[in-house]
Amino acid sequence: MKKRNKSTHSCQSCVYKINMASKSVVTLGVRPLSHSFLGSASASVYLGSNSVCLQQVRHRRFPKFVVRPSTRRPWHVRKWTEKRDESLDTSNENFIKEVIVDKYAGAVSSPLKDGPWERNPYMRETRRAGVLALKLGTLMHWKKDGTPFTVTVLQVLDNHVINYVPPEVYATYPSHNPHQGLRFGLQVVGSLSCDPRQFSKPYNNLFLKAGVPPKRWLTRFLVTPDAAIQPGTALDVNHFKIGDYVDTQGRTRDYGFQGVIKRWGMKGMPKSHGTTKSERKMGSTGGGGDKDGIWKGKHMPGMMGNHLRTMYGLKICRINTRYNLLYLAGVGVPGLPHTFIRVSDTVLPRKQRSEEQMSQVSMPTWFPEDAEEDSLPEELFSEDVFQFTEPSLQLEAEES
């Protein structure tokens, strides 16, 4: 271990992952230049491969998960406030609530201040924004040939686009990955409107541009500039179509501090034959000689769960447009029910849209004007999913 560390540079946090899938012995550590440089006017000129210095890092294994610092990000504003006006009585309180509803209900339905943005066709390179959904739970469904499968149900509740940051500006952000160059801009999406009095003033100011009530939860998606959505636009389940594949990202269930048996699946030790107080312990931590010491990444007890995880490539098999429900074929969406999930078009190359599907994508998102003259059907099904209004499955008898 000592030998391995000699070749790495001192700033470990600057090592970027280049190839997630490979566990090769040799990987590349990439150190971006200083952020002040990126903030300069000529940033876009230098954002090629020149902006990073390539340095070989030998024998570095990728960590199982990244422990995020507990300190707040410097660019995040303070969200919650405890300030409360205690002098208000019930009638005043109700009046203020009415004012809040009047203010925002009108603002959301009013036409946007500047004209609608241009709508571009969907291309292979396009990456659209996603939505923020709540995981509701799982159900049992059947295919038309009688095969059972499990669906995970997500609800897209009260989503609005809050902000769009073009690529030139995003390149000056400290969170920008220089490998992406000027390909992506930032699309900020929020969900669940709240009473603005419980948030701090700088947090409420984030929503002035969009003209929507402050949201409980914000997230950002990397989008290509042709798929940028105007702030203030409402997003709902029609953003996706039946048959699309989506990636779902969220935080896993928080187990707290756990031992090695639950956390890493170790075997423990025998319960009898002279063993005392070691039934659930981990045993040896390593060998000796050349490989002595405790290596980095050794599986040990610690905090388990509450990690950001992504489930790739789940197919949308059913949509409910009235309650904004997405039915995904399969399980593995992270977290307990009522977890916030980021849902976006999949990045898996084998599950991209066909030419026919590409012509039907709503770009940059679905607007109510896109609906056909007759109103949208309440429920949409994939072709191979059994609908419960259909008769039972009949198999034709073979002639012999």
Partner 1 sequence: MAAPMAQLCVNLLPKRLGLMSQHINCSCVFFSSSSPLRQPKPLKHVVNYQRTRAEVARALRRKQNFLHHEMVDKHRASPLQSGTAQISEESGEGAPREYRYVMPEFLPNPDFQYRDKVLEKMERRDMLRRRAVIDIPEFYVGSIMAVTVSDPYSPGKTNRFVGICIDRGGRGLKAYFVLRNVVDGLGVEVMYEMYNPTVHSIQVLRLEKRLDDQLYYLRNAPLEHSTFSFDTQPVNLPRDAPVPVNTTKVKLNPKPWEYRWERFNLKGIEPLPLTAKMERGIKEHAKPWEEYDLMLKYRQTVNEDEERSIMTEVFQENSRIEGERKSSRAVLRRKK
Pattern 10-49, partner 1, x by CB under 8 A: ----------------------------------------
Cα-to-chain-centroid distance, residue 81: 26
Query: Minimum distance from CB of 148 to partner 1 (Å)?
Result: 7
Segment 19-24 long-range contacts (CB within 8 Å, at least 24 positions apart): 20/62, 23/61, 23/62
Burial of 327-347, coded b for 16+ CB within 10 Å and e otherwise, reads bbbbeebbbeeebbbbbbbbe
Segment 38-47 long-range contacts (CB within 8 Å, at least 24 positions apart): 38/171, 38/172, 38/176, 38/178, 39/172, 43/168, 43/171, 43/172, 44/168, 44/171, 44/182, 47/171, 47/178, 47/181, 47/182
Strands 148-155 and 131-142: antiparallel
Give the range of 105-113, 200-208, 274-282, 289-297 binding partner 1 by CB under 8 A.
105-113
Contact 319, 257 (CB under 8 A): no
Compare residues 9 and 76 and give the one whose CB is closer to partner 1.
Answer: 76
**Interaction between residue 323 and partner 1 (CB under 8 A):** yes
**Interaction between residue 392 and partner 1 (CB under 8 A):** yes
Q: Residue 90 phi/psi, 5° resolution?
A: -65, -40
Closest CA to 108 of 237, 233, 208: 233
**Interaction between residue 148 and partner 1 (CB under 8 A):** yes
CA distance 289 to 4: 16
Size of the site for partner 1 (CB under 8 A): 54
Tell me which of 335, 345, 361, 364 binds partner 1, using CB under 8 A.
Answer: 335
Contact 172, 43 (CB under 8 A): yes
**Interaction between residue 325 and partner 1 (CB under 8 A):** yes
Q: Report the chain's C-alpha Rg in angstroms.
A: 26
Compare residues 14 and 100 and give the one whose CB is closer to partner 1.
Answer: 100
**Interaction between residue 105 and partner 1 (CB under 8 A):** yes
Per DSSP, the three-state class of 225 is helix
Tell me which of 81, 322, 359, 370 binds partner 1, using CB under 8 A.
Answer: 322
**Interaction between residue 58 and partner 1 (CB under 8 A):** no
Per DSSP, the three-state class of 209 is coil
Closest CA to 328 of 136, 152, 90: 152
Q: Is 228 exposed, middle or buried (0-12, 13-18, 19+ CB in 10 A)?
A: buried
Query: Minimum distance from CB of 234 to partner 1 (Å)?
Result: 6
Query: Minimum distance from CB of 107 to partner 1 (Å)?
Result: 11
Compare residues 8 and 200 and give the one whose CB is closer to partner 1.
Answer: 200
Compare residues 52 and 162 and give the one whose CB is closer to partner 1.
Answer: 162
Compare residues 30 and 134 and give the one whose CB is closer to partner 1.
Answer: 134
Query: Minimum distance from CB of 151 to partner 1 (Å)?
Result: 10
Query: Minimum distance from CB of 231 to partner 1 (Å)?
Result: 16
Pattern 271-310, partner 1, x by CB under 8 A: ----------------------------------------
Compare residues 179 and 251 and give the one whose CB is closer to partner 1.
Answer: 251
The site for partner 1 (CB under 8 A) is made up of 100-101, 104-105, 108-109, 134, 136-137, 139-142, 146, 148, 153, 155-158, 192-195, 213, 216, 234, 236, 250-251, 254, 320, 322-325, 335-340, 386, 388-398
